[in-house]
Amino acid sequence: MKFIVLSKKIKRLEKIKDMCICNKVKILDGKYLLKIMLADVLEHILNTRNEKLETQNIHIVINQNSEININLLEYISGRVKSVNIVTKQIRNFRKTRKVFI
């Protein structure tokens, strides 16, 4: 099976959808995929810069405390020096803060 990530504009085009279905190409959600791959991307960037993950202070902009975001925070916080959450909705993350302390 083949996979592809498309922008919202292109996803709306029926012709593109039909082509993907005919060629057995599965359309993936890019935002979800980015969240899953973020830790790998971060590690790759630091390896390229010859820096250690354990010494980094990471700042993450998050507006939702969804399960995947919490899992991402848990994964990253266990591997870096510190994680700072930047959000307008700090109330949503109060319980999350207690988990990480």
Q: How do the domains of the chain map onto residue ranges?
A: 1-51, 52-101
Under DSSP, the state recorded for 88 is: S
50: phi then psi, degrees, rounded to nearest 5? 55, 45
Reply yes or no on whether the pLDDT at 27 is more than 80: yes
Reply yes or no on whether the pLDDT at 1 is more than 80: no
Three-state SS at 76: helix
Mean pLDDT for the stretch of residues 6-31 = 83
Tell the burial category of 73 from Cβ atoms under 10 Å away from its Cβ (0-12, 13-18, 19+): buried
27: phi then psi, degrees, rounded to nearest 5? -90, 125
Q: Show the tokens assigned to 6.
A: 């498309």
pTM above 0.85, yes or no: no
What pLDDT score does 100 carry? 59
Q: Give the pLDDT band (50/70/90) at residue 49.
A: very high
Q: Give the pLDDT band (50/70/90) at residue 68.
A: confident
For the chain, what's the residue count? 101
